[in-house]
């Protein structure tokens, strides 16, 4: 029985430490429902409107799960904004889905970084559980037909990694 408690304790420590000492290279992960329609939940945006992934079908979606307490999330968000501005006219939507924080906290944080892409509030962390977000940030790419594209990414991405991940989807015909 002692080994069970020790293993559980080690797992908890590993998950907590991962948040503060992320790898410089994001880990790829198997996306829940890869190749199938991406699960979509109605959650409020920081503007108060309820939003769903289904609303954006027909676009390439970069769904980024994040939190204000996450330093790698903060460092990644300006590159996500650059990606959004650069490729929005070609059918790309970046959606930041805050995991479990208040509207005021998430909105203030996004405003401090001059983020213009949509920010949603997932107070129940439905997206995090569904897309198996082990740590933050977690990024999932969804194609124009609404299907989750493997792999997902656990950890911060560079701008170059982001553009490489979306390039084949952006080139695909609408």
Q: pTM of the entire structure?
A: 0.82
Residue 65 reports pLDDT greater than 60: yes
Cβ pair 119, 107 in contact under 8 A: yes
**Cis amide linkage into residue 151, ω under 30° from 0:** yes
- Cα gap 29→104, rounded to integer Å: 31
Among 31, 35, 38, which residue's Cα sits nearest to residue 54? 38
pLDDT for 134-160, tens place per residue?
899 999 999 999 999 988 899 999 999
pLDDT for 88-128, tens place per residue?
999 999 999 999 999 999 999 999 999 999 999 999 999 99
**Domains by residue range for the chain, with CATH:** 2-171 (3.40.30.10)
- Cα gap 101→110, rounded to integer Å: 12
Residue 16: pLDDT band (50, 70, 90) is very low
pLDDT at 109 (0 to 100): 98
Residue 14 reports pLDDT greater than 80: no
């Amino acid at each position: 029985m002692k080994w069970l408690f020790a293993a559980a304790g080690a797992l908890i420590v590993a998950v907590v430490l991962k948040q503060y000492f992320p790898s410089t290279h994001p880990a790829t992960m198997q996306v829940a429902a890869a190749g199938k329609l991406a699960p979509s939940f109605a959650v409020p945006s920081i503007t108060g409107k309820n939003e769903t992934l289904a609303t954006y079908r027909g676009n390439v979606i970069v769904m980024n799960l994040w939190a204000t307490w996450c330093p790698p999330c903060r460092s990644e968000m300006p590159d996500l904004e650059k990606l959004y501005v650069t490729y929005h006219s070609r059918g790309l939507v970046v959606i930041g889905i805050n995991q479990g924080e208040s509207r005021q906290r998430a909105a203030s944080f996004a405003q401090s970084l001059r983020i213009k892409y949509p920010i949603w509030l997932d107070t129940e962390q439905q997206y995090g559980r569904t897309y198996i977000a082990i740590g933050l940030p977690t990024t999932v790419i969804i194609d124009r037909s609404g299907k989750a594209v493997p792999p997902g990414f656990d950890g911060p991405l560079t701008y170059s990694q982001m553009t490489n991940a979306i390039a084949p989807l952006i080139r695909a015909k609408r």
